[in-house]
Structure 1
């Protein structure tokens, strides 16, 4: 847990909660906190731990983009969640969208653009969204609306090339997949949009599970999430996010992205859905570990 990404604090929170839940479930647990400058020491620390399974609670770059998965494959270590290819594909939003299109799943129009060009002019008609192509947790996201005075003035720490995608209006929905089973549909309600602060600040958002939506939309979310999980080649737990414009019915449902390492605290979205399905947090963590033991 930890790591060098912008989602370090989220990872530390997930890791501590999972470690405690796994102890409750009867496992012996060694916590490895990875600092930004400790990547070179990780192989030795994993070897010293002599673990049967590594529970990967890292988020963001290095932790869920295929790099740490490749290291553990090279070391011959069993680990939770998705493998190298699925992790790398899901983290690369452009490539993931192409996988979804090829699988017949609905996504919005998008393109990769030079950040300098995005600052200079509107590269697509407003409203649109600008974000890094390979970050999670709504890090570095800009929403450009029709009433904006001009193009977005991206911060200097944004990458040189960014994703620009059409804005999808509507309600925020999400579905977790455990193995080959979709757990349910949650609606996320916020005062504004579902940014980093809304995700992780106490009271920043409200989760309605199961979502109060028509059966047709709920069934589509479950179906699309499982198909996205399979199309990417995910393993274990994933979570797929949607926007739904309820004025357009099923045609208004679009898939935003799939997260191969969802937040893992008892009140995070995927564990909430597991609890609704009858699986408490220690049982969910146990399932993830046993799945990794059997799958890798």
Structure 2
């Protein structure tokens, strides 16, 4: 039986690609780093790619810059609000320009940790008990969960504004600090077990990564700056258990309308049971980022990973239409 010839990569089939990066969110510096890495990869692949930063082309100028007369599709590598919350996705749909990753609905829900956890709870998926803090009165609901607590802005990524609260005074301080970034703040029962992340590429869950840090939790510094963070891949779990967790993460991603590619984070509680934390619909692509690490463990190099993410713009996601 004759072996089929390998498929030849054809960069021309993607046409003219707008790489949208930067933006104006708190995560702009990370987006610029991610975007620089993706830009270099797409250029190595021979793709006709142009860098577009909404912060440099604000308002109606951005619509003109992204005209379908200039581009055939967009590769989104905007992190945080304005890029990961459905806003740019809605603009691109108005323009009729296909784009990578989740659609408007999946992006909007995935960016909102509170709504995400509500949906998971309704779908019977495990997630730690939580309370929404909109004002000082809501602090009592959070206290009822029991200390310690994890406090985080509901609409930020990269661990921005997150803090552990061990008592009421620390909870008040953590809430006030987080509220400077977001009027909606989430308090979550503290999880003491191992932390994992599951990268998703198309319909495939990539190998799990276990995260270990000497910090109190996996904060911004541990993610992007510290050299003391350990990334275990293989993660050390028995294969059957890893497969079960991968299936759980795929279900969690789809439950919020995620599609194309992304990442789901979870931790184990003190009984060793998984508790879902959050969804990232446009994860980082820096040299410290987790999706490229998981892809490498699956035999997918960075350039191939970028090509496969770009491929998600060729297939209409369920929530794009």
TM-score normalised by structure 1 residue count: 0.91
Which residue of structure 1 aligns with residue 76 of structure 2?
Answer: 56
In 1, distance between residues paired with 2:92 and 2:150?
35
1:79-129 superposed Cα distances (whole Å, 9 cap, x missing partner): 111000000011111111122123321001112123434679963321112
Q: Structure 2 matches for 1:73-84, cutoff 5 A?
A: 73-84=93-104
Q: Structure 2 matches for 1:192-271, cutoff 5 A?
A: 192=215, 193-245=217-269, 248-249=271-272, 252-271=273-292
Find the residue that maps to 2:80 and give its secondary structure.
coil
Tell me how far 1:157 sits from its aligned partner. 1.7
Q: 1:39 to 1:3 in 2, by over 3 A?
A: farther
Find the residue that maps to 1:229 and give its secondary structure.
helix
Which residue of structure 2 aligns with residue 179 of structure 1?
Answer: 202
Q: 1:115 to 1:190 in 2, by over 3 A?
A: farther
Q: 1:122 to 1:292 in 2, by over 3 A?
A: closer
In 2, distance between residues paired with 1:158 and 1:120?
21
5+ long unaligned stretches in structure 1: none
Tell me how far 1:234 sits from its aligned partner. 1.6
Which residue of structure 2 aligns with residue 190 of structure 1?
Answer: 213
Q: Structure 2 matches for 1:13-162, cutoff 5 A?
A: 13-35=33-55, 38-47=58-67, 50-117=70-137, 123-124=143-144, 125-145=146-166, 150-153=170-173, 154-155=176-177, 157-162=180-185
Tell me how far 1:171 sits from its aligned partner. 1.1
Find the residue that maps to 1:295 and give its secondary structure.
coil
In 2, distance between residues paired with 1:70 and 1:135?
19
5+ long unaligned stretches in structure 2: 1-20
Find the residue that maps to 1:31 and give its secondary structure.
strand
Q: 1:39 to 1:244 in 2, by over 3 A?
A: farther
Which residue of structure 1 aligns with residue 302 of structure 2?
Answer: 281
Tell me the number of residue pairs that the alignment of Structure 1 and Structure 2 aligns: 292
Contact 2:30-2:286 at 8 Å conserved across structures: no
CA RMSD, 1 decimal: 2.2
Which residue of structure 2 aligns with residue 170 of structure 1?
Answer: 193
Contact 2:131-2:142 at 8 Å conserved across structures: no
Contact 2:212-2:230 at 8 Å conserved across structures: yes
Structure with larger Rg: 2
Find the residue that maps to 2:117 and give its secondary structure.
helix
Tell me how far 1:37 sits from its aligned partner. 7.7
Find the residue that maps to 2:67 and give its secondary structure.
helix
TM-score normalised by structure 2 residue count: 0.84
Q: 1:170 to 1:76 in 2, by over 3 A?
A: same
